[in-house]
C-alpha cells in the first residue's frame, strides 16, 4: 500500500450577512456589552437567516475551497461534513451538499464531533489520500448554532454564531518537499459529556411538549467546568501532537485554537508559552461557531496573506463529547 503526503490545496469560508452585536443582545436578555467582552472576548456574531440551513452555509464555503484548489465538483472523491447542527438526521448534510454542488462521483458522510470536527475531518481525509485510495476530498465544517440556542439563557446565548469553513485535501508532491498534514492526536473523554450537550432530540429523549417547555432541545453548558478541562487539555494534546510531528514549540509559526472564549485561548497560550502574535483570534467577530471556527480562522489567515510556504500551523480543538483534537500542518500552498 502506498503512503504519500496529504496537503491542503484549497480553503474557503462563509459567514452570514446579519450581524448580532452585544448591544442587540442587551435588548434580548439581561446582559451588558462590558460583561460579554470581559468574560468571552466576543463583540459580535453572525446569524443565519430563517431560510438558511447548515448545508447552505457549507455550500458557500465548499465552493470557495474548490475554486481555490482549482478543481471542480466532478473531481471530488468524497465530501466529509463536520456539524452538530445538520439539516436533518438524514439525509445527512454531506449528502445534501454532494447533490447541490454537483459532486456526482463523491461519497459523502457527516461527522458529529462538536468543536473538534474540522480536525477530525482532516484526519479522515488524510487517511484516504495518504493510502492512495482517493485523490480529492472536500472537508466542510458548517454550523447553524443559533438553531439550537436558548435565547432565554444569558449564560449561553451570548456565545454562539453561525458560519462555515472548508478545505480540499489532495496528494502532495514528495519531490517538492510537500509534507502537509504532518500529525494528529485525537482524544475522547465521554465521562464529561454532560458539560456540553443537547438533552432532547435523539432516541434517548424525544422532543415533546415537556422538552420544549424546558428548552431541552437547545444547547446546555456548564461553563466553569468546561473551562478548566479545556485549559488543562489543550497543552497536553499540543505536547503530544508536536512530539508526533517531530518538531519543537519554537517551530510553530501559527496557533489556531477552537474559537470558544478568549479567556480559554489566552490561558492555554500562556501555559504553552506561545507568543500572542502567533495566536490567531477571530472569536471577537464571530463568537463560537463550533466545528466551523478553526476552518474559518485558517481561511482568514490564508486570505490575509499571513501564511507562508513551509509555515507550521498548530490546530487544537476542544468541546462537545468531551473531545480534544490536535493537528500540525505544514503549509504547502
Catalytic site positions: 115, 258, 288
Provide the strand spans (E) within the chain: 6-14, 18-21, 44-47, 78-82, 107-111, 137-144, 162-171, 181-188, 196-197, 220-221, 254-257, 312-319, 323-330
Burial class of 237 by CB neighbour count within 10 A (0 to 12, 13 to 18, 19+): buried
Tell which residue, 244, 254, 238, 234, has the closest CA to residue 319.
234
CA 235 to CA 247: how far, in whole Å?
Answer: 15
CA 196 to CA 226: how far, in whole Å?
Answer: 8
Between β-strands 181-188 and 162-171, what pairing exists: parallel, antiparallel or unpaired?
unpaired
Q: Does residue 10 sit in helix, strand or coil? A: strand
CA 117 to CA 89: how far, in whole Å?
Answer: 17
CA 248 to CA 236: how far, in whole Å?
Answer: 14
Give every CB contact of residue 287 below 8 A, 6+ residues apart in sequence: 40, 42, 44, 45, 46, 158, 159, 160, 161, 259
Tell which residue, 132, 128, 112, has the closest CA to residue 120.
112
CA 211 to CA 209: how far, in whole Å?
Answer: 5
Amino acid at each position: 500500500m502506498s503512503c504519500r503526503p496529504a496537503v491542503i490545496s484549497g480553503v474557503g469560508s462563509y459567514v452570514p450577512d446579519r450581524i448580532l452585536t452585544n448591544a442587540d443582545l442587551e435588548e434580548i436578555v439581561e446582559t451588558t456589552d462590558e460583561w460579554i467582552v470581559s468574560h468571552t472576548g466576543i463583540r459580535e456574531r453572525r446569524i443565519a437567516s430563517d431560510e438558511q440551513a447548515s448545508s447552505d452555509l457549507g455550500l458557500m464555503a465548499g465552493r470557495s475551497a474548490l475554486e481555490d484548489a482549482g478543481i471542480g465538483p466532478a473531481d471530488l472523491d468524497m465530501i466529509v461534513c463536520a456539524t452538530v447542527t445538520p439539516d436533518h438526521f438524514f439525509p445527512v448534510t454531506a449528502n445534501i451538499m454532494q447533490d447541490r454542488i454537483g459532486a456526482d462521483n463523491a461519497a459523502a458522510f457527516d461527522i458529529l464531533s462538536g468543536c473538534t470536527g474540522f480536525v477530525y475531518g482532516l484526519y479522515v481525509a488524510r487517511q484516504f489520500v495518504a493510502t492512495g485510495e482517493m485523490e480529492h476530498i472536500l472537508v466542510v465544517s458548517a454550523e447553524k448554532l443559533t438553531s439550537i440556542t436558548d435565547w432565554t439563557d444569558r449564560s449561553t446565548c451570548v456565545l454562539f454564531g453561525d458560519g462555515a469553513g472548508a478545505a480540499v485535501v489532495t496528494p502532495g508532491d514528495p519531490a517538492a518537499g510537500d509534507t502537509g498534514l504532518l500529525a494528529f492526536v485525537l482524544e475522547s473523554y465521554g465521562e464529561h459529556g454532560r458539560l456540553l450537550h443537547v438533552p432532547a432530540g435523539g432516541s434517548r429523549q424525544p422532543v415533546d411538549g415537556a422538552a420544549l417547555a424546558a428548552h431541552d432541545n437547545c444547547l446546555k453548558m456548564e461553563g466553569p467546568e468546561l473551562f478548566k478541562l479545556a485549559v488543562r487539555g489543550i497543552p497536553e494534546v499540543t505536547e503530544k501532537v508536536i512530539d508526533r510531528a517531530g518538531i519543537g514549540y519554537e517551530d510553530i509559526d501559527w496557533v489556531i485554537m477552537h474559537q470558544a472564549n478568549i479567556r480559554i485561548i489566552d490561558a492555554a497560550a500562556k501555559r504553552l508559552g506561545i507568543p500572542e502574535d502567533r495566536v490567531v483570534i477571530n472569536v471577537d467577530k464571530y463568537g463560537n461557531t463550533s466545528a466551523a471556527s478553526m476552518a474559518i480562522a485558517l481561511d482568514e489567515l490564508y486570505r490575509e496573506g499571513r501564511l507562508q510556504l513551509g509555515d507550521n500551523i498548530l490546530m487544537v480543538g476542544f468541546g462537545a463529547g468531551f473531545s480534544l483534537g490536535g493537528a500540525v500542518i505544514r503549509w504547502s500552498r
